[in-house]
Structure 1
Amino acid sequence: MSEGNDRLYELARAATVHLLPARGDGAPLWGSGFFVAPGWVLTAAHVLRPHLAAGPRTVFRVRGEGVDAEARLEQWLLTDPRRQAVPLEEDLALVRLAGEPEEQQHECVWLADRAVSHSGALKVCGYYPGPSETYFRIVDAEINGHEDRHGLIIKPDIDLPSGVSGGPLLDPETGAVVGLVKSRRKQQDGGKAVAISALRRFGRTYRTVVAAHDRWHGGEPQSPTGDNWIDLQGGPPAGAGEQWTPTDRRDALRLLAELPPPPDAPTVELLAKRARSHNTWPGGTPELLTWRDGTGLLYEGARPLEALTFLRYLRFVELYTAARGGDATALGRWIGTRLRREPRRAFHDLVRDVSLPEALRPAPDAVPERIVIPYPGPGEGATVAVLLDPVIGARPARFFWQIWYDDGHGEPELHEVDGSVHGHDPAGLVQALRGPLGRLLRAKDQEGRPVPLEVALPVEHFDTAVHRWRFDDIAELNDAGHLGVRRRVVLRALERRGDPDKVWAERWQAMADQRRFSGWRTPGQGDFPGARGYRDAACDLIPVMCRPAGRDPGRTAMRLALEGGHGVALWHVDGHSSRVCPESCDILYAKAEELLQTLGSLAELPDRIRHVRQEISELRADRAWAEPMALLYDDPRRPLPSEEGGTLDAPL
């Protein structure tokens, strides 16, 4: 064991703590944790759950070298604290020490900017109970496999002592903490761990914590020995101008922590791609919540790309921030100073002369408050689709889900598939989709342009009020929260997956050429057009129904409309099923006609509907008519992926 590693392990020991009851003298420890920023401890959620499930604000103690303080749970990823088993990617909790962070003197681990899952040798750190006191221990271990998005498998010949759950996994090679211990294996050696990349699932709290982490590491060493994590990471020396050094990384991340955060993940992704001269990184794209996360894309394996690539990215961030009124002067000065150390003078213009991509330049001040964003056709932008397949034979109805992403320039990609055995009832779909769908939407949303969401269902389930779905239990006061207010949400016919038929494609093309539209009350008062009536209807007419589409006569009307090639329709998901309309239906049709008269193209309709839903959330009484209205917007030019694997049957 080298002297450098010994010193690194001492830093890890100083940052590792154990958790126990508030009056903890003689009480058994709950588990381990570690400081990631001043006053912030990361641990496993299952360590706290038995003690805090009934009272999450309960005070407990955090102890370690030079630390003995009261603390509370700040946030955990548990969706259901009462569930017996804690899912791997939910097994994280952030703990906050009592008092002000600047008053708290303790060591903090170093968290890498890359989100790549670790493989190979590492050290497991944590506390375990002895006969009369609690002891710290470092154990040799090795990661030899991965599970799901954030799971790490510790090989079986490792004996993890009781109490280390929640403790850090230290990579001696890079000098960074790469995960935390989840569990030992039952009746055998080895165990599981959660990759530190799962920390990004804390969202805005993650932004707060990593900014505090980077500021702390960017200052003077606070260890009693004078050591710091950066100096013990190895890598090229500080004077290596062509290479990106640990010191460069530390300084750059500290400066990025002082900037306003990026507005969305696509902005970070686009600037990282431009910095890499449009060369993509290996593997998938992780969640991108901070400018720091963008630097983590500028690696090949564990090796950072050359310094010029990082400086180009930082220059893009500087320009983006300054263009929106932010103060990036300190970052700009540092880029200039660091660039002078780069010996290849001919390449300096690769940094100095960069300019923001057209898509990221600020909009003119004269832009109207609410722009109507056309729905993307082929090659015009991305969409996310959720396909809900009914479980055959299930009563009441249950669904299996698939999530697809279509960037508009090729074939849709399957993003995630339902792993349940029995599917989900309609009430449970939101909970089941909250994690996987929420992550994808956050990753693809652009500032002011949330990615559209398409939900494909069989016709008999068209009254599923997807636009009312809500993914956030707690929202900001100015956040309406419902999907249909935030983004364009449309329904599609699951039966139409695969290649479109000629009638559907031809009607769509004819409608796309129109510039004025009218509502078609169908079925009307005593008037039920047959199959020919739907097929021969003028292409500027959009079917509008005051009835639900899942019950007759609305169900028959919707099926005839689909068979007649109609790709657009509006209907009342809570409407009446009687053949005689009440007086309120006249108001609905008149209001729908007013809305359709505002269209300049078919592609404007989904966002026009979203505007109305937004105005409903702002308590505009004259918009209440549209709250129960669902929208079919089924573009045959971007067909749903064809069915694979046959029908899904209910398990016995």
Structure 2
Amino acid sequence: MIDGLGRGAPGGSGETRRALMDLVMAATVRIHGPEGGYVPDGPGGAFLGSGFFIAPSWVLTCAHVAMQGEGRDVTVIFETGPGSGESSVTGTVVAALPERPGGALDAGSTGFTASTGSYGSTGYSAGQDGQAGQAGPASQAGSFRTTGSWPAPDLALIRLGRPVDHACVYVTERPAAFFGGGEVFYSGWTEVGGRLKRLNGQCSVQGTLGGWADSDEQMRLGGDVLPPGVSGGPTVDVARGEVVGVLKSQLVGGMGGTSIGIERLRSLPVPAAMAGAESDDDYQAVFHAHDRYHADRHINRVGTGRTWADVQSALEAGIDRALSPQQRVNLLGRLAELPPPVSTRGLLDLLVRLPGVHSVDRYPAPRSWRDGLGALYETRGGEAALELLLRYCMSVISAERPYVTQSTVAAEEALWSWVRWVADDRLSREFRNEITLLWSAARHRTDREQRRAAPAYGDRPLDGESPFVLLELEPRGWERDSYDWRVGVARHTGEVQPVGEDSRGTPGHALPARLTASLTEAFRRCDEPDSPAVLQVAVVQSLLGLEVDCWQLSPDEPPLGVTRPVVVRRSDHEPPLTEAETRERRARWSRTMNEAMRAEIVDCDDGLRVPVATEEHLRSLAYETVPVLCRYADRPDGETTAGLARVVRGGFHIALLRRGKDRPDVVCADFHRRAADTVAEARTADQLPRKIQELRQGVRAGRTETYWSDGVALFYDDPHHPLPGSGQLLEAP
């Protein structure tokens, strides 16, 4: 790994630690309600909790703190330094993870104590008398709870309403699971004797709560009491001198609590359209501003105060690193001058193309150039670590851009100058010659235009090679309407990278909410701004009518089938195919991919429901045929299920299924006509999923000409992407 043992010194001198604490406390703020701000010497007034400046004009805190205000407006109270006096500025919550309908908690879970009105932000011990520290009747010692039970990641970003001068923390660029030591420092505010006081302390790291693939994974802390009010404050890796998380919860009846990793901010919503400016994506805007802030202050020749990089160096945090803290902050500042990656998928492709980097499967996946740098820290050590880091920089220089600005070319040249300076000082002539050739190639590609057609770091995947999201639902036969599930990212190589799973049984009505975090993460790993990934839903044949395309992952989002192509496939195991059957299926699939398709209604004749023909008859249909089951229904009966089984055994991998209540008196002529037109317009199988998505968009938009397609599902069992454990051989495209 680039970090060697991955740990810095146990901690620098007492003076250095005090300097680190000063930097943290200078950026720690109080969050108040919007009206009247606060009463400095009073009982707290509208005090909600703590937070900290993560970047110029941006505050990070817990959602259960910030969303206690009236609407989304809050007041931020801060000090610029010892004796400087307090200042206040209004702010707006621009993002909460997760968002909640209406924005605030319901009455009865507001988190204000009955006796003083001050907010018990950790919220686990407000008893019947309203005094912090008394466990309520339902409380269990040793359990973690949050006031209002705001689910993880429980983070909120506040944007200031006007410019003010303030200090900012330094945030780690790698997941909190890789903290540098066994202790973290924290800072916040609490009420003492009717007055609000600063508070700081130190906790030991006890482990984690939740698995690495869980959206609610948290760092467990112990060794100190976390009083009401400190929720939303920063947790700092003492060994490395960098913020790794946000205080979330208090341990009921005990010492310690939990902290949410900073990397959970990567799950902030991704803009649906291609970003045209840094401000189009809050995540990129915050961390670009963060990295420029620290680089500017470190290279400033006028200031005399110790910077975060100075303190990190005194902590000997960079003793095992390929770069010193000063070099790292300089590099991050230069990366922040460039436009961000086009997508998470593009960044992951860039990383795995680097020599010796086989996968980047941490959760959540990297999203920015700084995240990509952090992902390399666990890869290798020694001189090879520095070479890998510089190769990454060269890939960033030549990467495709979502947009370019007047300063993009200068930023690329500045990054190249830094790479060359480091290489000249520490690496071999052979390596220096290699990166010089890379720069020469990249410079010729830099034409001030968006580079989307041919990325410099490799060929763009063909349509059949694009990753897709695979959702597997397995009914629990002994529990009615209950499912085990798995979500993964499937690649054309046949590999499926797991993202999330649950084998404890989820009720059908709870599936959309339970799957939201895993599906959102998987989509981010696959989507391009102009090309959302396909969602393939694998279910047993009796559940092919399940309306996953109608699920909404959040109340303010359109259904899944509107935002992306959603197809269904069978997870039932088939008897082994004969060699002749295998050839026939391969031929049918190849024909639908290369020749104009045509539809064939197989279960309806002039409006009358008829049985699906025999397998022998189905095999006689042209290879480019797409069967259409007009009478499939949401919950198909035995004959309908048997009919689809005959279609599958007849060698067909694609079919249109008309779901909905089967009414014998329905006139089907228009459906038959338009289904045939749709298949013909799509022409080839690879275009049909997006054609169905367009129809679903039309239904939602109220375009009457698309109403015929309401309820249509696309059965799409791609033989080049067999389900895990199916035993099918991967076929060459």
Q: What's the TM-score bracket when you normalise by the shorter of the two chains?
A: 0.7 to 0.9
Aligned mates of 2:694, 2:571 — CA distance in 1: 26
Say if 2:172 is the partner of 1:108.
no
* SS state at 1:158 partner: coil
Say if 2:371 is the partner of 1:293.
yes
- For structure 1, the residue ranges without an aligned partner over 5 or more in a row are 365-372, 476-480, 644-652
Matched with 1:363 is: 453
| Paired residue type of 1:320 | A
Change in 2 beyond 3 A, CA 1:165/1:625: same
1:635 equivalent among 718, 729, 732: 718
Deviation at 1:589, TM superposition (A): 1.9
Matched with 1:388 is: 473
Q: What do the CA deviations read for 1:133-174 (whole angstroms, capped 9, x no partner)?
A: 222232121213122346344444333333222211112322
Say if 2:627 is the partner of 1:570.
no
Aligned mates of 1:288, 1:361 — CA distance in 2: 21
* SS state at 2:631 partner: coil
Query: What are the residue-to-residue correspondences of 1:428-577 with 2, within 5 Å?
Result: 428-471=510-553, 473-474=555-556, 481-496=558-573, 505-514=582-591, 515-525=595-605, 526=608, 527-532=610-615, 536-538=619-621, 539-549=623-633, 550-552=635-637, 554-574=640-660, 576-577=662-663
Matched with 1:179 is: 245
* SS state at 1:47 partner: helix
Return 615-624 or 201-210, whichever deviates more: 615-624
2:186 equivalent among 120, 124, 138: 124
Change in 2 beyond 3 A, CA 1:273/1:577: same
1:418 equivalent among 496, 499, 502: 502
Say if 2:267 is the partner of 1:195.
no
> Is 1:503–1:564's contact at 8 Å kept on the other side of the alignment?
no
Deviation at 1:236, TM superposition (A): 11
Q: What do the CA deviations read for 1:623-642 (whole angstroms, capped 9, x no partner)?
A: 44334321101134533234
Aligned mates of 2:286, 2:249 — CA distance in 1: 25
Aligned mates of 1:350, 1:286 — CA distance in 2: 33
Aligned mates of 1:235, 1:640 — CA distance in 2: 53
Matched with 1:158 is: 224
Q: What do the CA deviations read for 1:227-272 (whole angstroms, capped 9, x no partner)?
A: 21122111899x99x9423233223322333333222112112223
> Is 1:400–1:424's contact at 8 Å kept on the other side of the alignment?
no
Change in 2 beyond 3 A, CA 1:225/1:497: farther
Change in 2 beyond 3 A, CA 1:171/1:497: farther
Matched with 2:134 is: none
Deviation at 1:569, TM superposition (A): 0.9
Matched with 2:77 is: 62
Deviation at 1:315, TM superposition (A): 2.7
Say if 2:104 is the partner of 1:27.
no
> Is 2:16–2:314's contact at 8 Å kept on the other side of the alignment?
no
> Is 2:76–2:91's contact at 8 Å kept on the other side of the alignment?
yes
1:264 equivalent among 325, 336, 343: 343
Deviation at 1:351, TM superposition (A): 2.3
Q: What do the CA deviations read for 1:265-286 (whole angstroms, capped 9, x no partner)?
A: 1211222334x42423676364
Aligned mates of 2:190, 2:574 — CA distance in 1: 56
| Paired residue type of 2:477 | I
Deviation at 1:321, TM superposition (A): 4.8
* SS state at 1:392 partner: coil
Matched with 1:593 is: 676
* SS state at 1:509 partner: helix
Aligned mates of 1:280, 1:374 — CA distance in 2: 21
Aligned mates of 1:321, 1:637 — CA distance in 2: 29
Matched with 2:65 is: 47
Return 104-113 or 134-143, whichever deviates more: 134-143
Say if 2:410 is the partner of 1:330.
yes
| Paired residue type of 1:382 | P
Return 13-22 or 343-352, whichever deviates more: 343-352
Matched with 1:370 is: none
Say if 2:21 is the partner of 1:9.
yes
1:279 equivalent among 331, 336, 357: 357
Matched with 1:231 is: 310
Aligned mates of 1:630, 1:235 — CA distance in 2: 62
Say if 2:421 is the partner of 1:340.
yes
Deviation at 1:565, TM superposition (A): 4.4
Matched with 1:367 is: none
| Paired residue type of 2:540 | P
| Paired residue type of 1:456 | A
Change in 2 beyond 3 A, CA 1:529/1:38: closer
Q: What do the CA deviations read for 1:87-140 (whole angstroms, capped 9, x no partner)?
A: 6632112223332x3xx1111100122224225122121222211422223212
Say if 2:221 is the partner of 1:206.
no
Say if 2:54 is the partner of 1:36.
yes
Matched with 1:75 is: 95
Aligned mates of 1:592, 1:188 — CA distance in 2: 64
Number of corresponding residues? 611
> Is 2:598–2:680's contact at 8 Å kept on the other side of the alignment?
yes
Deviation at 1:197, TM superposition (A): 0.9
| Paired residue type of 1:329 | V
* SS state at 2:207 partner: strand
Aligned mates of 1:348, 1:224 — CA distance in 2: 35
* SS state at 2:358 partner: coil
* SS state at 1:272 partner: helix
Deviation at 1:485, TM superposition (A): 4.4
Say if 2:401 is the partner of 1:401.
no
Matched with 2:277 is: none
* SS state at 2:688 partner: helix
| Paired residue type of 1:266 | R
Identity %: 26
Deviation at 1:385, TM superposition (A): 1.2
* SS state at 1:298 partner: helix
* SS state at 2:572 partner: helix
| Paired residue type of 1:2 | G
> Is 1:62–1:71's contact at 8 Å kept on the other side of the alignment?
no
Q: What do the CA deviations read for 1:429-476 (whole angstroms, capped 9, x no partner)?
A: 32222211111111122454433211122333323333344435446x
Aligned mates of 2:412, 2:194 — CA distance in 1: 56
Q: Provide the alpha-carbon RMSD of the alignment.
A: 3.7
Deviation at 1:56, TM superposition (A): 2.6
Query: What are the residue-to-residue correspondences of 1:83-94 with 2, within 5 Å?
Result: 86=149, 89-94=152-157
Q: TM-score, normalization: structure 2?
A: 0.74
Change in 2 beyond 3 A, CA 1:524/1:163: closer
Change in 2 beyond 3 A, CA 1:317/1:617: farther
Say if 2:202 is the partner of 1:140.
yes
1:350 equivalent among 421, 434, 439: 434
Change in 2 beyond 3 A, CA 1:226/1:302: farther
Deviation at 1:486, TM superposition (A): 4.2
Say if 2:709 is the partner of 1:626.
yes
Deviation at 1:610, TM superposition (A): 3.8
* SS state at 1:330 partner: helix
Change in 2 beyond 3 A, CA 1:72/1:519: closer
| Paired residue type of 1:260 | P
